[in-house]
Chains A and B, each alone.
Chain A
Amino acid sequence: MSADLKHLLHELEHHLEHVLPAQAPIKDFVHHNTLHGFQHLPFRAALAAAEAAIGAHGFLPAVTSRAYFQQGRITREDLDAALDETPELRVNELLTGGLSRRAVLCAGLLHDFSPPAATWAWQVESAGVLRHPAADLSATARAALLRGRAESDVIPALWAACQGLLDTPPVAEAFDADAELAALLRCVGHRLTLRGVLLRLTGRDVLDELRPYLIRHLANFLDQGLAALHAPTPAQGFYAAWLASAQDDPHFALHDMDEWESTRERLPDNPVAAIAQSLQLLGLDEADWPAYLETLAKELPGWSGMVLWRHGHPGYAGLTAPVGLADYLAVRLVLEQVYAQHFAGRHFKTEASLSGLRGYFHRHPSELQVRLALYGTQQGALPESLADQAHRLVREATGRNGEEVDADWRPVARLIEAALAQPATNASWRLFRLAQHLGLDADAVQTLGATGAAALLECLAELTPERQGWVWLQAYERHYREQVFAALAANHGRGAWVERGGTSQTTPQAQLVFCMDDREEGLRRHLEERHPRIETLGAAAHFSVFIRYTGLGEVPTDLCPVVARPAHTIVESAAPETEARAQGYLQAQGLRRRWKTRLLEGSRRTPWGAALASGLGALVTLPGLALKSLAPAAAGQVTAGLRQRLEGTPSTRLTFTALEATPATPDAPRAGFTDMEQADRVFGFLRNIGLTSGFAPLVVIVGHGSNSLNNPHMSAYDCGACSGRHSGANARLFAAMANRPEVRALLRERSLDIPAATWFMGCEHNTCDDRVTWYDTEQLPSTHVQPLRDLQVALVEAGQLHAQERSRRFMSASLDMTPKQAFRHVLGRRHDFSQARPELGHATNASAFIGRRAATRGAFFDRRMFLISYDSAIDPEGTVLEPLLLANGPVGAGISLEYYFSTVNNERYGCGTKVMHNVAGLFGVMDGAASDLRTGLPRQMIEIHEAMRLLVIVEHRLDVLTAIYQRQPPLQELIGNGWIQLAAKDPDSEAIHRFVPGAGWVAWQAPESELPRVRASTDWVRGQREPLPPALIEMEPVA
């Protein structure tokens, strides 16, 4: 038995990994596909499966899409194309009577046909919906319908015709108590737990009562260091720890749960046995056990997911206590049993098992009817007066001591039966509305006849919410896709440095390699617009160096993608000449941190110590709060200035060269890279981005990160390629490696010749305030000092313009700010602890371009495009491209899909508003003090996001891409299943092909219209708050 159950639990673990949120503890937040567990399915099927499993719809609500249609963000043309691409709707077929299915379906997408049940009488009498044409009728449809006749002649007649064809008198359905009961109890294990059944019978939630108790224990067990006191015996697992504490906890007795006494005595020591025991007591068929446990786990998805995550990452953050799913489920089950027992005893005077409930309601059919009408699936359908009476019955029953007399419930049950018998006007109403949109009058409807009318409605009914969502999504995506394709086609051949090399005249003044991040598109564009001789490139900002990095005075942290583990350690240490200064720095920093801990921690420990700490702390917070409130930017600068004055700024070096080639593994990382390893990484990276010749005198590697105050989701704004950390250290390391003569010599052996006059620099771009921090400037050769100074000025200027462009999307920022003012504004956001939107993160991400910058340079992409540099000219067979797609595809998809799901359903897939969040155990956020853990993105991050799948455009030939696709199952999953959209741009012409799963490559037809041209990005964005379509920017040609 128990072996079986163990096996079953093991399988359940795997299954749940697909269903539960897989979000890591929040400090290690990295974007990932919210439905990663369903990724093996096609996108649509996955959404349907997820909806079935967790009950969350995965498309934007139709109302939102209709609003986009009104705003022109989706056009009729997009909608038609989307319908064409949904073969199951057979849009081009005709219905009986010669009407086209397309017209019916379009009407169904654009208008709401749900019957106005609650307001029917008012709609008819006051609004006159049966006398006047529908309010949302288009002018053309109206003209077609009326054909010059008066409304009063056409509309009432139409209604009469519709009614005549379809109406049947209302039928009251007799209530079959035993069947309903059986149906309800059948759901146990599949959709409901015991708690769910009781919820449908009483409207009260057992979980609400037990959640605070459960969370106290669970959060304490999982805690990563917020609390100072933990369960005394964590090593034995959660179940044992809980049981030890609960054994003599008067909690249950104080809540009159006498059931606990008997439960406690029979509880086994082993969690698996406890699970078996509880399920047996419930009386559930063994075949339903896995389903029941799954449903139970899904009732608190956040907490269950965290348990599962920790289970899969033993030893995380140095935590030794074993976290097991069985432990957690056992506690959940036992608690559910005890609380439900108490609950059922109070309400039904019976035990909380399936047989107990079955027996009770078999004897009380009327009570069942009343309760189901009140709290069951039809909740809210009862008229108020009736609901009041029913509530009264329930209330009295709860207070009574003896068993209920079912006859007392019968009168109300009869009334309910009568009230729920709906008149069958729904069908005729739909037909009436549809006929108007199709321009059919009474005669035309009569001609259709009953069968014709039924066919119309059937066609309309085929438009399920899922299909509606799918068609709208495709139309939405198409609208954006067309714009991007048109821009790429129009921009073909306009960008500089289509081919590398050439004369010194055309050599760029500087080359800057940014992160592929969509947020960098703006900064790069402004830099290039102002300084046409500067070239920018993009790549994943780990820059091919995966490291465990220890900054001066900091703790080690892994800077590499979340799927990798670094095998090399890099240490930042003081430069030899500033050794003494560094000592002082470290001492001062240590002192500051000790005092910070003393105040922060001390103020919540011993009473007297805390009194002293808060008294002292007040001396700091009084001026601190005043300054922060009045001028956050100044406050930030003052604190940074003070800190610098107290601690000093020692100049530092990275130690990164390993002298011996000892083995380097993630489990035993080695300090530094050997010369050969360095050359490998520099070579590989430069070849990836296509920078193998035509080097500028300055090549700058730009890492990035974001700083903000008061933001639990801070790592979501940082560099995704470095697991949600800052990637400046990687940039600095890469530049330092590439400058070493030994490395350059090795590179030359591989015919990668970096001229002696070329110098690499590392820096970090702060995406929150658009400032740039430079590294190792003191090592710069004197020849490069002036060029660097020019470049720094250029970057500040571009940063200001970029800040201005970004600020247009902050609703609270003025549209009239000058670049300088905007620069100051974003600085203020960074240092403002009241700011729930320090920056908007990846909120605008929508597409990715893998290819030469020349193809996108000179066009405006509204910070919506990941830009990954790659040159197909030096990689005709796609050997470089293949790993590039494998590495970057999932990253881009992860970001885009997390935003997608958090946007379409923020309540279920996202984590709601930030203002209520309360950090729990350092691993997640709750609403208030005892809610489920909230996963996904907060509302503040997705407000302006356009929910669509990432459009990935690769600059290469179709045959190469096809070959790669056929070789790589991970890409087949992502692309073939439609989690991202793929397109190919021909490197040598304007031709663009789109990959349609199931159909293959489809050539794109360029539209007639021309792309708008502007002098500068600033002209295009001026005064605009909304997302903007691409435009071409007039840039002066380079030589």
Chain B
Amino acid sequence: MTEMTAFLSWSWIALIPGLPLLAALAVTVLHLFGPARGEAGEALTARLSVGAVSVSLLLMLAFGAQALGWGLPGQIALGTWFASGAWALPVSFTLDGLGLGFAAVTAFISWVTLRFSVNYMHREAGFHRFFIGMNLFVGGMLLLTLAGNAAAVFVAWELMGLSSWMLIGYAFERPTATLNAQRAFLTNRLGDAGLVLALALSLIWLGGLDWPTLAAGAARLPTLYVSLLALGFVAAALVKSAQVPFTPWITRALEGPTPSSAIFYGAVMVHAGVFLLLRLEPVLLHAPGILTLVGLLGALTVLYGWLGGYAQTDVKSALLFATLTQVGLMFVTLSLGFFELAAWHAALHALWRAWQFLAAPAFMHLMERPAAPAPAWLRRCPRLFTATLQRFWLEPLTDRLFARPTLALARDMRHIDDNVVSRLVGMPEAQRTAALLEADAPVVQGHGLAGRALLGLAGRLNRFEQRLVLQGGGGKLGAGLSRVGEMLRFVESLLEQPRYLLVLVMATLVVIL
């Protein structure tokens, strides 16, 4: 009924997350195939990215005004993504005060940050890569805030995970940066696993993923079921918002350019977990145990950020610890049932931190005097000093808790892989490869039509590679490529082991069930 009188069709809401995602796609394509390259292409990339987010912001403001005048439409469905039997996944949006409010704040901060980045990233070799990552993130985050169902949240979650990995590892020539990007990505997989679990349970028990379905279902289901369902979502929220014990990934994530640190870890993404839980208010209210857990971990995070923050000596870490404290406080607030308060807190906090993080390079010029000393009781206890300096040893502790068993499992799997699976499928062993190379046998042989086609393709690709790579004379390009190769090998060796992480997590979750 609102749509009858409204001046904008609410279905246009899809443009808000859609435009930045389209911009990401456009920049990627243009970057790969021509104009958006190098310094000359900066203007195009910037225009597309800032343009998309500007339109999103304006639309958002228009929708906001419309909501004030004509009321909120609530849940709207634009179509069906896919349907199978009793299950149907609609393309739906939840347009209530919470969603629109958060979307507006997100769009605003994203617009500011993207505009900031145009100047700040000028003449950087990774300019275009940076904007692709940022657009993906902005699209993902806007999708999260407006999403009408948990499946869309999953998509948003993945977009955010991918883009944060891209931007932490922005300076990929520094091993520390790639290592930390990897860690962030892997920790986030834990949360993703929780989300997948929650999605599966919702589909099985409730037959749908829409928020109203979940809310209605939660009132119906037994508490144990609701708790399990909530636990999956909560795990995702805790990881994304870097609450204890998942915090270490975010303290390592400050390797990217200042604007990306600002929007991810200072202002927007770190609040994504809070938003998810706010969105799930009806479900959480039926899972008091889980809510208590949230409160408890939130409180621990408050302690972690508050006390740890006193000992931080670099601007970005200092601001990050302050941010963690506040996000922890939001978790505590909402666990006590003050959902509205937590929402306001998150929105205002995001706006403040956005500025503070963006202005981090000037922090020392903004400070009027050295920081006042920490409270006396804290200074009196040397052990507490060590604890804060070492960030309460959370990282090695969680490593022992999670990573160690995973690695052990990985080793076992590898053993099985090498000694059982490889033999079964007849893969050549390491020694045999060496022998093969020694004898001057042709490395590739093609059999049959498919084989010959493959061989032909390989030949062509080889030619392409040689043209592209070797024509450069093997000088700078060659050196650069071999460096990239080294890096890739490094990344690969890292990936090789924790790839079993997911298996472990899933197994653990299955056991819980």
Taking A116-B474, A714-B365 as contacts, is the C-beta distance between A227 and B431 under 8 angstroms?
no
- Asked if A231 contacts B434 (CB within 8 A), the reply is no
Give the residues in chain B near A610, CB-CB below 8 Å. Answer: 322, 325-326
The segment from A387-395, A432-440, A671-679 found at the interface with B is A387-395
The segment from B141-149, B184-192, B215-223, B343-351 found at the interface with A is B343-351
Give the residues in chain A near B397, CB-CB below 8 Å. Answer: 254
Give the residues in chain A near B179, CB-CB below 8 Å. Answer: 208
Which one of A223, A618, A926, A931 contacts B352 once the chains associate, using CB atoms below 8 Å? Answer: A618
Taking A615-B345, A914-B361 as contacts, is the C-beta distance between A229 and B385 under 8 angstroms?
yes
The CA of A244 and the CA of B170, in the complex, are separated in Å by 38
Which one of B171, B382, B433, B434 contacts A245 once the chains associate, using CB atoms below 8 Å? Answer: B382
Give the residues in chain B near A244, CB-CB below 8 Å. Answer: 382
Interface presence of B402 (CB below 8 A)? no
The segment from B72-80, B92-100, B465-473 found at the interface with A is B465-473
Interface presence of B12 (CB below 8 A)? no
Taking A119-B473, A920-B313, A929-B314 as contacts, is the C-beta distance between A601 and B112 under 8 angstroms?
no
- Asked if A208 contacts B175 (CB within 8 A), the reply is yes
- Asked if B313 contacts A415 (CB within 8 A), the reply is no
Which one of A208, A601, A617, A836 contacts B120 once the chains associate, using CB atoms below 8 Å? Answer: A836
Interface presence of B329 (CB below 8 A)? yes
- Return B257 CB to nearest CB of chain A, in Å: 4
Give the residues in chain A near B312, CB-CB below 8 Å. Answer: 226-227
Chain B interface size band reads 35 or more
- Asked if B325 contacts A837 (CB within 8 A), the reply is no
- Asked if B388 contacts A604 (CB within 8 A), the reply is no
Task: Give a binary string over A373-388; 1 marks a CB under 8 Å from any B CB, 0 the rest.
Answer: 0000000100011110
Interface presence of B103 (CB below 8 A)? no
Interface presence of A216 (CB below 8 A)? yes
Which one of B180, B306, B367 contacts A607 once the chains associate, using CB atoms below 8 Å? Answer: B306
The CA of A605 and the CA of B374, in the complex, are separated in Å by 9
Give the residues in chain B near A509, CB-CB below 8 Å. Answer: none
- Asked if B122 contacts A601 (CB within 8 A), the reply is no
- Asked if A812 contacts B359 (CB within 8 A), the reply is no
- Asked if B389 contacts A220 (CB within 8 A), the reply is yes
- Asked if A928 contacts B255 (CB within 8 A), the reply is yes
Task: Give a binary string over B316-359; 1 marks a CB under 8 Å from any A CB, 0 the rest.
Answer: 11110110011011000000000000001101111111111011
Interface presence of A739 (CB below 8 A)? no
- Asked if A228 contacts B371 (CB within 8 A), the reply is yes
- Asked if A232 contacts B382 (CB within 8 A), the reply is yes
- Asked if A913 contacts B124 (CB within 8 A), the reply is yes
- Return B127 CB to nearest CB of chain A, in Å: 10
The segment from A122-130, A285-293, A357-365 found at the interface with B is A122-130
Give the residues in chain B near A385, CB-CB below 8 Å. Answer: 433, 437
- Asked if A415 contacts B434 (CB within 8 A), the reply is yes
- Asked if A604 contacts B123 (CB within 8 A), the reply is no
- Return A381 CB to nearest CB of chain B, in Å: 10
Which one of B119, B174, B348, B379 contacts A835 once the chains associate, using CB atoms below 8 Å? Answer: B119
CB neighbors of B among A788-844 (8 A): 811-812, 832-837
Interface presence of B451 (CB below 8 A)? no
- Asked if A600 contacts B364 (CB within 8 A), the reply is no
Q: Whose C-beta in chain A lies nearest to the C-beta of B485? A: A384
- Asked if A629 contacts B466 (CB within 8 A), the reply is no
- Asked if A127 contacts B471 (CB within 8 A), the reply is yes
The segment from B22-30, B274-282, B475-483 found at the interface with A is B475-483
CB neighbors of B among A104-125 (8 A): 112, 114, 116-119, 122-123
- Asked if B329 contacts A621 (CB within 8 A), the reply is no
Interface presence of B268 (CB below 8 A)? no
- Return A107 CB to nearest CB of chain B, in Å: 17
Q: Whose C-beta in chain B lies nearest to the C-beta of A251? A: B390
The CA of A601 and the CA of B309, in the complex, are separated in Å by 11
Interface presence of B200 (CB below 8 A)? no
Taking A834-B118, A928-B176, A931-B176 as contacts, is the C-beta distance between A621 and B351 under 8 angstroms?
yes
Taking A600-B367, A604-B318, A611-B329 as contacts, is the C-beta distance between A117 and B116 under 8 angstroms?
no
Interface presence of A906 (CB below 8 A)? no
Give the residues in chain A near B389, CB-CB below 8 Å. Answer: 216-217, 220, 245
Interface presence of B164 (CB below 8 A)? no
- Asked if A415 contacts B348 (CB within 8 A), the reply is no
- Asked if A621 contacts B473 (CB within 8 A), the reply is no
Interface presence of A71 (CB below 8 A)? no
- Asked if A614 contacts B318 (CB within 8 A), the reply is no
The CA of A921 and the CA of B396, in the complex, are separated in Å by 25
Give the residues in chain A near B369, CB-CB below 8 Å. Answer: 225, 597
- Return B34 CB to nearest CB of chain A, in Å: 21
- Asked if B313 contacts A389 (CB within 8 A), the reply is no
Task: Give a binary string over B107-130; 1 marks a CB under 8 Å from any A CB, 0 the rest.
Answer: 011011001111111111000000
- Asked if A389 contacts B434 (CB within 8 A), the reply is yes
The CA of A230 and the CA of B388, in the complex, are separated in Å by 10
Interface presence of B3 (CB below 8 A)? no
Tell me which of A118, A229, A251 has the highest count of chain B C-beta atoms within 10 A of its own C-beta: A229
Interface presence of B362 (CB below 8 A)? yes
CB neighbors of B among A376-432 (8 A): 380, 384-387, 389, 391-392, 395, 399, 411-412, 415
Q: Whose C-beta in chain A lies nearest to the C-beta of B438? A: A415
Task: Give a binary string over A987-998; 1 marks a CB under 8 Å from any B CB, 0 the rest.
Answer: 000000000000
- Asked if B379 contacts A229 (CB within 8 A), the reply is yes
Give the residues in chain A near B348, CB-CB below 8 Å. Answer: 614-615, 618-619
- Return A348 CB to nearest CB of chain B, in Å: 19
Q: Whose C-beta in chain B lies nearest to the C-beta of A384? A: B485
CB neighbors of A among B365-393 (8 A): 365-374, 378-380, 382-383, 385-386, 388-390, 393
- A-B contacts, 6 of them at CB < 8 A, read A232-B385, A245-B382, A384-B485, A391-B493, A596-B368, A618-B348
Residues of A within 8 A of B (CB): 26-27, 63, 112, 114, 116-119, 122-123, 126-127, 205, 208, 216-217, 219-220, 223-233, 244-246, 248-251, 254-255, 380, 384-387, 389, 391-392, 395, 399, 411-412, 415, 593, 596-597, 600-601, 603-608, 610-611, 613-615, 617-619, 621-622, 624-626, 628-629, 709-712, 714, 811-812, 832-837, 913-922, 926-931, 940, 943
